Amino acid sequence: MATYTDEQLQDAASKLREIYDVQTRSERLRTARRFGYESKPESRLRIYRRLTRGKAKPFSRFPATEFLNDYVLRFDQDVLQNDGDEMVLNGKVPPYSFVQNMLIVSSVMFVVRDDGDFTTFNTEVNRNPLKVGRDKINLDPMKLLSAYQERVREKFMVRPEEGYDLIAVAFNMRGARLLARTYGTEVPDPDKADYGAAFLPTKARYVDDKRQPFIREKPTFRPFPKARQERIVRYVNRAYPQLKRSGRL
């Protein structure tokens, strides 16, 4: 039996989530059977879905940077690869669900044009929780990430006379250094810059009327059953590239 590292299992769980999300009902039933589940269809579907959904702990703050590209360019920029579609998200899918309303906070670097010259400054781009109706909570992190991507795209639409002529955005230090080098400028306050994004709960926990700090713990994926672990990982490693080539992912 093959032995997998936690990183390999996390990667397989993330890819399995992507596979599940594009499959039809009949494909999900067949996949669950490949994993060795022979129960009634609805039971198989529930088991398969649970395999693709880890859980975040309540009142925990955890990273979102890993789901973002290093940088994004405005559609009219062609000096680097990530241009044309203003793709903020890198295609990775969180293999977990929220357990409470969450928002995204991020510290980023803007590259702006001022009288023909390029300059940079550090700022924040945040996205509030999604509204899905009264007393309903959206627990899908991908929907919040997609909304964050739209928020960044909105920043590119600000007219220069209304604020700034935004050219590019960096989401981590690697992207900031690349953009600074490309546009002939500098990373502002590099020793103090703390670029990145995080999922943050909208409500805090209180003990004796004192606000408690958020738990800094990344969600764990739902562990694959050991007896089925190898067949699940092998399936993911085979099916994921095929779905990528077909354009379904």
| Mean pLDDT value across residues 87-95 | 87
What is the value of pTM for the model shown?
A: 0.74
**pLDDT at position 37 over 90:** yes
Q: How far is CA 212 from CA 63, 206, 215, in A?
A: 19, 6, 9
**Domain range summary for the chain, segments of one domain joined by +:** 6-53+222-246, 60-216
- Average pLDDT of the residues of the chain: 89
pLDDT of 178 above 80: yes
> What per-residue confidence (pLDDT) applies to 46?
92
Spatial distance between the Cα atoms of 152 and 200, rounded to a whole number of angstroms: 18
The pLDDT-based confidence of 64 (bands split at 50, 70, 90) is: very high
Q: What was the pLDDT predicted at 162?
A: 74
| Span 11-35, average pLDDT | 92
Which of 204, 215, 24, 54 is CA-nearest to residue 139? 54
Q: Average of pLDDT values for 135-142?
A: 78
Give the pLDDT confidence of 200-211 residue by residue, as tens digits: 999 888 888 888
Question: pLDDT at position 246, please?
Answer: 92
- pLDDT value of position 134: 63
23 has pLDDT over 90: yes
Lowest mean pLDDT segment, chosen from 20-24, 159-163, 206-210: 159-163
pLDDT band at 133 (very low <50, low <70, confident <90, very high): low
- 63 pLDDT tier (thresholds 50, 70, 90): very high
* Residue 53: pLDDT over 70: yes
The pLDDT, as a whole number, for residue 218 is: 76
- Please, which contacts does 140-145 make with residues 24 or more away whose CB atoms are closer than 8 Å? 140/97, 140/98, 141/64, 141/94, 141/96, 141/97, 141/98, 141/102, 141/199, 142/93, 142/94, 144/102, 144/103, 144/104, 144/199, 145/64, 145/67, 145/89, 145/94, 145/104
